[in-house]
Amino acid sequence: MTSSQPNLSPVTGRRIRVLVVDDSMMIRTIVARIFRDEPWIEVVGQAVDGLDVVTLDVEMPRMTGLEAIKKIRAAWPPAKIIMLSTLTESGARVTIDALLNGANDYVAKGTASGSHELPIPRLKHELVAKVRQFFPAQTLTPRLVASSPTPAIAPVSSVGPAPLKAVRHSGTKARRVVAIGVSTGGPSALSDVIPLLPANLPVPVLLVQHMPPMFTRILAERLNSVSPLDVREAAENMPVEAGTVLIAPGDYHMRVTRRGSRDYIALDQSAPENACRPAVDVLFRSVNEVYGGATVAVVLTGMGQDGFLSSRTLKASGAYVIAQDEPSSVVWGMPGVVVRAGIADAVVDVRQVAATILKQL
């Protein structure tokens, strides 16, 4: 594809410029048409200066997605890379590896049922939302679009909830659990946190990463291979023990429950919260019920506000709240609302999160 549009530099008033890379002509055509319906997005045909977003197939015959990521990062480091993944074992493994090696996010091309039919409305919604999440709405200038059967998505608001008065802790508490919530950019962020926690960690780590089934299991396997801690995908009735990291499985909310003197995992498929299942708010609420102020809550990079309301509740109980800072976040949505509301006790670079956790233990 060759663009007839002007080569705009990344300055205020620009449009989001997207390069579509896929070995399937059908996929290239569909994705390009999806983006051309959006007045804030311009599809370009070559990677030149000013490139903003690349959509990249994870499995291509002559150059793998991982190889392409390295070349794109070398040619244009600021570009955002969104992987187009298949909901298969091999597709999930390649996607997780891509996210751990520099990709920013992903969208599944197919359906969990294994159908080969492309769910175009869902693909359109997810692709446009995931491109837009990287760019403040006020920096964009729409282009004129011919009449389209679907309206453009409204600009994403950057205004968070009204600030709350921060709770001051009277002193250091005995912390008994670490609870982590993360979304967009999560695998890379987690690879900067989990491997730095020691094998003799005296508390369990409970973690929600917004991901579909199978992806969470593979993420747990990858993190386990590079971490001194025992990292697993959580299962129903699994004991919650010190020195373990339990990741909520895709499509299941994860809670912690107490029976007698021991704590266990409970999973369910109740309605999504914040359009997510698993949801950070579900986990954090249950953590507050069981551990209250003896919690270290961590909110890492991610789009949206999942985890905000429950972080506020944990804060009121005396928990210590850590938020990832904006420069090290892929998307400063989830941690950003926590910070703007005055909930965070510490706002740190992702590479300092593990050390900040350990200071509380």
Q: Which of 306, 310, 325, 328 is catalytic?
A: 306
First CA to last CA distance, the chain? 55
The residue among 93, 17, 14 whose CA lies nearest residue 58 is 93
210 is catalytic: yes
CA 357 from chain centre, in angstroms, equals: 20
Looking at the DSSP assignment, which residues form a beta bridge with residue 231?
Answer: 245
Phi, psi of 33 (to 5 degrees): -65, -40
Return the exposure string of 252-269: e unless at least 16 CB atoms fall within 10 Å of the residue's CB, then b.
Answer: bbbbbeeeeeebebbbee
Judge contact between 248 and 207, C-beta under 8 A.
yes
CA torsion angle 116 121 125 128 (round to 10): 80
52, 210, 325, 328: the catalytic one is: 210
Q: What is the DSSP string of 195-206?
A: GGS-TT-SS-EE
Query: Which of 336, 254, 243, 323 is closest to 287 using CA atoms?
Result: 254
Tokens 């850590």 — which residue? 322
Examine the residue annotation and report whether 183 is marked as an active-site residue of this protein.
yes
**Measured distance CA(184)–CA(289) in Å, rounded:** 27
Residue 264, helix vs strand vs coil: strand
Q: By 3-state DSSP, what share of the chain in percent is helix, strand and coil, each rounded to 5?
A: 30, 20, 45
**Distance from C-alpha of 121 to C-alpha of 126, rounded to nearest angstrom:** 9
The 3-state DSSP class for residue 20 equals strand
Out of 85, 183, 227, 328, pick the active-site residue.
183
Q: What angle do CA 49, 54, 57 make, to 5 degrees?
A: 145
Query: What is the separation of C-alpha 275 from the centre of its chain, rounded to a whole number of angstroms?
Result: 13
Residues carrying an active site annotation: 183, 210, 306
